[in-house]
A and B are shown apart, each in its own frame.
Chain A
Amino acid sequence: MRTEELITQLSRGLKPVHRLPSPLAMLGLWCLFCAGVIGAALLVSGLRADFAAWLMDGFDLYHLMSAALVALTAGYAAFQLALPDRDQRWALLPVPAVVGWLVTMGWGCLEDLARLGPEALQLGISLPCLGFIIGLGVPMTVAIVFLTRHAALLRPVPVAALGGLSAAAFASLGLTLVHELNAAVMVLVWHGIAVLVVTALGALAGPLLMQRAAV
């Protein structure tokens, strides 16, 4: 087929399209959705028992804020990268927030170590914790993959991975409100593993889902 004929065919029967909202507007939509999901999780599980005391604790507040920052920057980067003409360097946007997140968790570990001694390093297995982030993060990843489905033919993998990271960070945020963990090491390890799993799932399965959603 000649290219000129293809153009004729493409323009014949052209349908109007709704222009995509800006990345910022998409981020707003995404945040609203996540807030809804976390709200629903709170309704089901209830706030953590030590919520008031926990609010006073500076470390957890930083931890919370850095997780929120990861969620927002990764989400925004995903919406930017989903558009054809945006710079690839958007992918680096969440890096400082991720580093900050790790630092707050690492700092928490050191504090625990100073307070409790070697006992703090004892690693319990917190499957509910892992399950919560993955259980919440995966459906949320599906949602952001749907929101960025137009990236299917452009750069699906980084977009889906960033979407997964944003979803996992939101899920981890939700978990912090629901579940109390007594040692920062546990937070670091279990949140870290869960976030990695969700991000990797996003990167692996996201592009396929995008193709499906876009068709």
Chain B
Amino acid sequence: MPTPPVTGQALSGPASGRAGAAEDDRVTSDLVWDGLAGMSEAEERPARDARWSQMMARAQAGDARAYDALLRECLPLLRAICRRRLSDPAEAEDAVQDTLLTLHRVRATYDPARPFRPWIAAIAERRALDRGRGVARGLSRHTVLEAAEHVGAEGDAERRLDAAELRAAVGELPASQRTALQLTKIEALSLAEASARSGMSMGALKVATHRAIQTLRRKIGKEP
């Protein structure tokens, strides 16, 4: 007998009986997955779950390509979770990034014998919740970024990115501010020394440094 064409209904029956698939995040995933209906047509949920688990297991073993592909595939799910909790799209996107940084740090805690979706969804829920509480803006984000610094020896990704961002912002400062910043903050010279080196007055140095820091703060910290 020829097998009938596979439909969503035909697959979801036996699949929902799969042991361990009845995870405790149904609240999250069902809503979110409804939102991703367009994608799930191409591939059924259980098959994708199994594939995600495998990809994460490979990522734990150091497979960067599997990790990259997995995170990209998970983005719509993460965005859906964060947007459900946060009305501001920029805030939601920040929560998605917080989620990625957190999951990167705790990637050793994933057990490939268990479904991947509840694991990543739980992390996203938590980061979105933190953002929603407003805790994240100051403390958590700082912590996440700071803590993420040690992820990978040559791969200190966040730090490199931060450094690149900072360098770009410093590059855009007026020359006098840049000099002032360089001498007083980076080389940590005293005002008198900095004044001698730059030919700027101590007052001018103070003002320029202050303005430079204000500008950087605005650019890096507050900009959406």
Contacts and interface: CB of A to CB of B under 8 A. Distances in A.
Main secondary structure of the interface of A (DSSP, over half): loop
Contact of A14 (B59, B105, B143): B59
A83 B108 CA distance: 10
Nearest to B143: A211
Given A16-B61, A214-B147, A215-B147, A11 B126 contact: no
Chain A interface category by residue count: 20 to 34
A26 B106 CA distance: 16
A4 B96 CA distance: 11
Contacts of A1: 97, 161, 165
A7 B68 contact: yes
A3 interface: yes
B123 interface: yes
Nearest to B116: A85
B209 interface: no
B18 to A, nearest CB: 16
Interface of B: 23-25, 59-65, 67-68, 71-72, 75, 93, 96-97, 100-102, 104-112, 114, 118-119, 121-123, 126, 140, 143-144, 146-147, 149-158, 160-161, 165
Interface of A: 1, 3-20, 22, 82-85, 87, 150, 152-155, 211, 214-215
Given A15-B152, A20-B109, 18 more contacts: A1-B97, A1-B161, A6-B100, A9-B157, A9-B158, A9-B161, A10-B67, A10-B71, A12-B64, A12-B155, A14-B152, A17-B108, A19-B108, A84-B109, A87-B24, A153-B102, A153-B105, A153-B126
